Structures are given as structure tokens and as C-alpha cells.
Amino acid sequence: MKTPKRLLPLVEEGFIDEVLGQLMSGKEATVYVVRCGDAVRCAKVYKDANQRSFKKSASYQEGRKVKNSRQARAMEKGSRYGRKMQEEVWQSAEVDALYRLASAGVRVPQPYICHEGVLLMDMVADAEGNPAPRLNDVELDENQALAFHELLVNQVVRMLCAGIVHGDLSEYNILVGADGPVIIDLPQAIDAAANSTAAEMLERDVLNLRTYFSTFAPALSDSQYGKEIWGLYESGLLQPDQVLTGQVVLDDHLADVDAVLAAVDLAIRENEIRLMCRPGAESE
């Protein structure tokens, strides 16, 4: 096929030898299958902001870093330069997340280079070497659903241990490769420690998995893996190979308000005594 304009620089620089065809066009990008030497890879071409349907809400932007204060001010003002910076931050979020997650052993495509809004990465293939289907296009039996669910919940755990929450995880951005599910589409990924909505987004990601897989395996319908995972993360106990139960025991004991007030009153009194006993207090 004719080489798309956005891919020409990578062809000219020798990163891509041949464009084999278009794989898909989504709300964020168009993906092409390309040949790089003997390897078949994917080139993800990000769409311009005015062509995309995915809204970059403040909840996804929170905690993302920029190079300097000038860029931050421009982004806040929404100037032309600021919008350009927002696009770069949005695209680099996926590249950075892919590198971090691949290094942490998470099942994501291996990235190679991102240049002028084009991300070159591994193509996830099925057993025949063809582009892998999305999870929502695959028929599962109950045992497969339980196995895939367990694997993907573990991937969510590994992502969180690497400091990342996907933020938009569902059956539509998971591919079923020859050796199992692979997570894709991470431009909206957030920093778990820097984003105040991280807990909410993680629970939503896990709930999406539960909702989808419970149609094949009803036993999953009452699981609470999201709350369990976040609870372990907050307490500093979460490990990449964490054994989970899917259950959360809620503390339904009423708070002892009188005891709390007594403790506060005691602390106030102790502070007053310390002030009275400090050197020079009588002369003040």
C-alpha cells in the first residue's frame, strides 16, 4: 500500500522498511502493520486532538509532569503552544507507561521508538502469526474466562506495583495473543501516587474485568478484587505475585467518639503544661 504521510519520516530514517496495511482506526489513533527488517511490527499514528473522540479530562491529566514551568503555564492558558505541549504529554504518557510496564514484566507490547506522533511497537500475534483479536471478539468457556480473569487481575497488580493505573481497561483494549491476553492502549494511564482519582480508576478497571468475565463465569460476579488490591497498595503490602481472595472484610464497628475526644483533650492539656514549663514562660 501507499505509505501514509505520517509514516514517511520513519521510512526515510530506516526504522520501517514497508507498510503492509492498516490494522485498525480508533478514537485515539490509526494503527498500521509494518515490516522492520525481518520483524513485523505495529505503527500507531496518533490522531490530532480535533479528530479524536476521547476527552482528556482533568482526572487523567493530574500528576503528569512537564519539562518546565513555561510549558505548564502555556498548558493552563490553552495557547497554541500549550495545546501542542498537551499533545506531547498525552502521547509520551503511553510511551513512558509501556517502557515501565514492559520492564516490570507486564503483558504489554514492547515499544521501540516514538517520533512525531508515531509509536513503533511489537505486533501482538495469534498462533498463526496474524494480528491478535480483541478480547471482546473471542468466545470463551467458563474455565478460559476464569483463567483469563486471574491473569489480568494479576497484570493490574503488577501495573500498580510499577506505579501505574491503566485508567480505561476493558475487553476492548485487551488482545488475545498466542500465549494469552496482552494489554494495550495506555495514553490515559495515570501515576498511582500522584493522581487523587487513582483508587477510583483502578476499581473501575477491575470492575470492567469482573463485568465482562462474569458473563462466562458467574462465580466472579460478587468478587471485590479492586478494593482488595487498593487496600493492600495503601498499606504498603502489595506484591507483584500477590495471592488475592477477591473478598474484602469491611470494618462495621462504630467509632468511639468519646475516646477520640478524650485523647484530643489530653493532647491539648499536655501541650499547655509543656508551654507553662518551658524556660522563661513565667516572664511572658
**Residues 162-190: pLDDT tens digits?**
999 999 999 999 999 999 999 999 988 99
To the question of pTM greater than 0.85 for the whole model, the response is no
Question: Residue 273 — very low, low, confident or very high, per pLDDT cuts 50/70/90?
Answer: confident
Residue 54 has a pLDDT of: 47
Angle at 209 between CA 223 and CA 235, to 5 degrees: 60
Q: Are 4 and 47 in contact (CB under 8 A)?
A: no
Rounded mean pLDDT of 273-280? 66
Residue 93 has a pLDDT of: 81
Taking Cα atoms as reference points, which of 160, 235, 172 lies closest to residue 201? Answer: 160
Torsion, Cα 10 131 110 238, to 10 degrees, reads 150
Rounded mean pLDDT of 185-197? 92
What whole-number distance in Å separates Cα of residue 219 and Cα of residue 146? 9
Q: Are 192 and 160 in contact (CB under 8 A)?
A: yes
Question: Residue 13 — very low, low, confident or very high, per pLDDT cuts 50/70/90?
Answer: very high
Question: Residue 79 — very low, low, confident or very high, per pLDDT cuts 50/70/90?
Answer: low
pLDDT beyond 80 at 64: no
Around Cβ 129, how many Cβ atoms within 10 Å?
A: 9
Residue 65 has a pLDDT of: 58
221-239 tens-digit pLDDT: 999 999 999 999 999 999 9
The grid coordinates listed for 222 are: 460478587
**Position 131, amino acid:** P
57 compared with 171, residue with greater pLDDT: 171
The CATH superfamily of 5-234 is: Transferase(Phosphotransferase) domain 1 (1.10.510.10)
Q: Are 197 and 62 in contact (CB under 8 A)?
A: yes
